[in-house]
Amino acid sequence: MKALRRTLLAAALIAAASGPAAAAAAAKAAVAAASAAPLVIGFSQAGNDSAWRNANSASIKTAAALEGITLKFADAGDSRESQIAAMRSFIAQKVDLIAFSPVAESGWDMVLREAQAAGIPVLVAGQAVEAGGLGLYAAFIGSDFAEQGRRAGRWLAARAAAAPDAAFNIVELQGAPGSPATLARSKGFAQAIAARPRLKLLHAQGGAASRAQGRQAMAAWLKAEGRNIHVVYAHSDQLAMGAIDAIGEAGLKPGRDVLVMAIGGSRAAFEAMVAGKLNVAVECSPLIGPQLMQLARDVLAGRRVPRWVTTAESVFPADAAAGELARRRY
């Protein structure tokens, strides 16, 4: 489409030499033809290692098709080198815009500068990146991890307000230590419960955001604390599922004897809520396709856009799970 736009511009310039009326007509025709041509977007996905990531890819592909946008899609297989190669390929193909879901925070400055030199705007999706200078990418679209933590904390605070005589001792199952998501989710949660002394954090542990990790950590805490644990705050659905396993194996009832909160919102989480084992899911949605396509259109139209576009997400308590389960796409 970039080549088409250049051709149309050249035609408009030639027409300008014939006089003002011809120039105006040619410019109008050029704008109309350029607007009618499909946008071409290159998207580099980090990988396909989870249902969440696959739903993210499907959402982007579907949204592009519905918008009439030509999407060139490349899966990096969790390799930064492959992702950079895909982005350079998009630059060589002269796509209108590049979007990518980075496999790491750093290491993108050079390829971002190459895209900038080629006049191709870049959108970052899912995980923010470190960029060596301002303006190397047009915008970031992704979750507000701190707000996810605050939403979990606010839900628990409301639960505590409805049970003024109950204790709420909390354990926190975190994701990768030191990652932006882990730090922000912990900070947001702490902010939301800070003014409520009955909401007391006993233990927190980070690691792989897996079911096995959640089960192992929860089992150790239950062995040490017994019934002194009343709440689990898990940074992922899989960590929550592992905690649920450990709670059941300890002879307790997850969702009743121990409240379980998860950040995620996958189908598995909704099934656990319907079964009464999970109390609330704070959504971390992969379904960014429609927002991403609109953002791409806005950037290419020269409209001012926020530096950070927050993913549209919700909070689902257990009593809403049955009605929502059929609509879960991941």
Domain boundaries, the chain: 38-143+287-312, 145-284
**Residues 189 and 151: beta-carbon distance below 8 Å:** no
Topology alike, domains 38-143+287-312 and 145-284? yes
Please give the average per-residue pLDDT across 101-128, as a whole number.
Answer: 96
> What is the pLDDT at residue 11?
46
Q: Please tell me the CATH superfamily of domain 145-284, with its number.
A: Response regulator (3.40.50.2300)
Tens of pLDDT along 242-278?
999 999 999 999 999 999 999 999 999 999 999 999 9
**Residues 262 and 214: beta-carbon distance below 8 Å:** no
3-state helix, strand, coil in the chain (%, to 5): 50, 20, 35
Judged against a pLDDT cut of 70, whether residue 154 lies above it is answered with yes
> What is the pLDDT at residue 309?
98
Q: How confident is the model at residue 171 (pLDDT cuts 50, 70, 90)?
A: very high
Domain 38-143+287-312 top-level CATH class: alpha beta
Q: How confident is the model at residue 134 (pLDDT cuts 50, 70, 90)?
A: low
- Residue 234, SS3? strand
Q: What is the pTM of this model?
A: 0.86
Instruction: Among 83-97, 129-143, 191-205, 252-266, name the one with the lowest average pLDDT.
Output: 129-143
Judged against a pLDDT cut of 90, whether residue 113 lies above it is answered with yes
